[in-house]
Chain A
């Protein structure tokens, strides 16, 4: 890759101007916490930054794309609120630096354990503004909780990795911090049994907000008012007699899959049905592959020797696997290949929103 001047527009209009005049591929990044070399002129969105609106009483936040997550966290904390979807911090796993931004978060939609209860960023995204590959500025959604006015391009762009346009501003629903949090732990080495245990907890009315298995232990999280957390954890302990409450906060390590951070391996992120997660985890573990489960089993992390095609090992009919750390190749693309009609529609959408292939990844 040749050294090129980094484009760094400071607002939406400048960005639109750049895109209208662009002649070739752009390598878009926020603060490059997940970046690996790509072809094209580098363009960063980190200067399009700042919280535009925050209404604690309406649980809504509007921020520009380059706003660091730490800045948002600090602002929300002043009002005892938070981004409820636990954005993943990719730095430890990918050995990158930089400050994660809200735009990177929305572009990828990699969310933590609370996906089970409150949803992912995609679920809490109320609206956005973006500039597409023709330089057209588009707004979609809004800043209210319920909005079915027109097509939902906001969610379509959440997790789209900037493939349809560059997001410039997002509006998110935020939630209050809980008064109390308790984590229960149960020793369990069998992933299928771990998933059944998590299913028992998640099938109870006790509102579990995290259910993960780290290879040796099932972890269950309960959050809310202290009195209610106390009641619900005691009911869960009754339901699962070997569960004990533990000190400390194991959840950021689950969210970021820290166990695999220092291994010299490829890391796969697999989204599948919870029961399939248990079965797949057992089979992979039996082949000597290190695994972890989140989302009650519906998110499987696997650490494989470099070059392994995990999709071959998983077989057919599961959800989808992403090669999050490792070198994608012709037989192991980063993203799961899609069915023919889905691939065709996705391709058509890319062509419509990015007719000059500015955002296309090789």
Chain B
């Protein structure tokens, strides 16, 4: 994976840039010691690292604006960073860049149950948004698996989803407004407490723009009353295609489960060895969760059971208590940990049309043999968002490269069957060089026009999303 050659002219002025930043920020807000910079040299895509020129940790929108003004003036690339949990390298620095970390901006600014919204500083973690309103019976719906650690700013940058977005939608469907700072230091509000845009819907393109259009410092989020209850059912099948057909039947039936999760045999075995959730050893396992009152849950689970029965399942296990629910979810929730215990792994994130599931699983199996690397599949089946986990040994020379090639082949396959490269993790640097698999140059040119408007000098997170050769002329202007 290539990164642009750092601008030596910027690096040469490091002392000057640091002095300018120190002049406008509190003393503890500028990090410049090599030992401290190490903490910011990568995000959750740990295979790639590079310490930045410096890191700043502002506390207010105005501080962010002054930092960006300075960086704009010096022509310094800026890497926005929330909690650093990106699996796609969204906040990977370059040696000539300033990282703007907004983890210190975590305040709740407003809660309004009558208008059903919460306004927070965007460094607040996803789970602590719900934490603030949970006692009153409310929640914020998008729930990426990193929700304990990840920041709302990163959720907005990557338009994060989660297991429950089948019913509640992803970040863009739950984001009402932002306050953001443009690269030249302009502070701008998009949206607010209202539900649609008055003219061009700039908010929708800011969401998912991977920190390339501006730095979001505040977010107004839609909140929802908690359901009366929720309960999962576990269904085991002997074949992937039968499990896939069952998912389609459920979706067509008018049932709206909050989650339909799928695990394949390698994943089931790994989770079972790790968490001992008591899963049956089968080819495909579905965990389906429904919500409502006890009677509504019983009714929906009854319908699911009846639909599943027409597909001759190996086993159906319906939760009858909180303990049983926890046990059904235990294995699924420990999937990543379980795989991590076996070996290093790379987590992919392509999406496919649901009907392509059996075919895609078959092809992934073939590729696994071809590359000689094991793969386990766990994914959000209701919306076709796959997370194949490829196992490799980071200490074995050549293994990472082989794994990356295998991963790229899987993502090409996702696009080939009508899906996309990334469903919820974002492009970052990880999938940047595959963008021409999904888009042609005109498609990418149109997207880059948007960046040109927001950030004409291409200083914000410039080496991400677009293949370097495609963005070259813009970045080197």
Chain A interface residues (CB < 8 Å from chain B): 55-60, 79-80, 109, 115, 119-120, 122-123, 132, 136-140, 142-153, 155-156, 158-160, 163-164, 175-179, 195-196, 199, 202-205, 225, 227-228, 231, 271-276, 295-296, 298-299, 318-320, 322, 335-336, 338-339, 341-342, 345-346, 348-349, 352-353
Within 8 A of A (CB), among B369-396: 380, 382-385
Per-residue interface assignment for chain B, residues 296 to 321, with 1 indicating a CB less than 8 Å from any chain A CB and 0 otherwise: 10011000000000000000000000
The residue in chain B whose Cβ has the minimal distance to the Cβ of A136 is B442
The residue in chain A whose Cβ has the minimal distance to the Cβ of B291 is A205
Cross-chain pairs A/B with CB under 8 angstroms, 12 sampled: A58-B251, A119-B173, A132-B446, A147-B422, A149-B421, A149-B431, A150-B435, A155-B201, A205-B227, A272-B193, A319-B192, A336-B199
* Complex interface: chain A residues within 8 A of B166 (CB): 145
7 further A-B contacts with Cβ under 8 Å, apart from A60-B353, A151-B451, A155-B201, are A59-B251, A59-B252, A148-B422, A148-B423, A148-B427, A150-B439, A179-B254
Q: Are B248 and A147 in contact (CB under 8 A)?
A: no
Q: How far is the CA of A155 from the CA of B449 in the complex (A)?
A: 15
Chain B interface residues (CB < 8 Å from chain A): 112-117, 137-138, 158-159, 161, 165-166, 169-170, 172-173, 182, 186-190, 192-202, 204-205, 207-209, 225-228, 248-249, 251-254, 256, 292-293, 295-296, 299-300, 351-355, 380, 382-385, 418-427, 431, 435, 438-440, 442-447, 449-454, 465
Across chains A and B, the number of contacting residue pairs, with CB separation under 8 Å, is 259
Q: How far is the CB of A307 from chain B (nearest CB, A)?
A: 21
Q: How far is the CA of A338 from the CA of B200 in the complex (A)?
A: 10
Determine which of A148, A276, A342 lies in contact with B424 in the assembled complex, contact meaning CB atoms within 8 Å. A148
Q: Are B254 and A151 in contact (CB under 8 A)?
A: no
Q: How far is the CA of A299 from the CA of B195 in the complex (A)?
A: 8
Q: How far is the CA of A348 from the CA of B200 in the complex (A)?
A: 12
Q: Are A155 and B205 in contact (CB under 8 A)?
A: yes
Q: Are B254 and A80 in contact (CB under 8 A)?
A: yes
Q: Are B299 and A228 in contact (CB under 8 A)?
A: yes
* Complex interface: chain A residues within 8 A of B199 (CB): 320, 335-336, 338, 346
The residue in chain B whose Cβ has the minimal distance to the Cβ of A235 is B293
Q: How far is the CB of A265 from chain B (nearest CB, A)?
A: 22
* Complex interface: chain A residues within 8 A of B295 (CB): 227, 231
* Complex interface: chain B residues within 8 A of A231 (CB): 293, 295-296
Q: How far is the CB of B80 from chain A (nearest CB, A)?
A: 16
The residue in chain B whose Cβ has the minimal distance to the Cβ of A155 is B204
Q: How far is the CA of A299 from the CA of B190 in the complex (A)?
A: 18
Q: Are A153 and B351 in contact (CB under 8 A)?
A: no
Q: Are B446 and A149 in contact (CB under 8 A)?
A: no
Q: How far is the CB of B127 from chain A (nearest CB, A)?
A: 20
The residue in chain A whose Cβ has the minimal distance to the Cβ of B173 is A123
Q: How far is the CB of B103 from chain A (nearest CB, A)?
A: 22
Q: Are A228 and B292 in contact (CB under 8 A)?
A: yes
Q: Are A205 and B225 in contact (CB under 8 A)?
A: yes
Determine which of A145, A150, A296 lies in contact with B447 in the assembled complex, contact meaning CB atoms within 8 Å. A150
User: Which of B204, B355, B384 has the most chain A CB atoms closer than 10 A to its own CB?
Assistant: B204
* Complex interface: chain A residues within 8 A of B444 (CB): 150
Q: Are A155 and B172 in contact (CB under 8 A)?
A: yes
Known: A152-B159, A156-B450. A227 touches B299 (CB 8 A): yes
Q: Are B252 and A56 in contact (CB under 8 A)?
A: yes
Q: How far is the CB of B466 from chain A (nearest CB, A)?
A: 8
Q: Are A142 and B420 in contact (CB under 8 A)?
A: yes
Determine which of A119, A175, A275 lies in contact with B114 in the assembled complex, contact meaning CB atoms within 8 Å. A275
Q: How far is the CA of A158 from the CA of B451 in the complex (A)?
A: 19
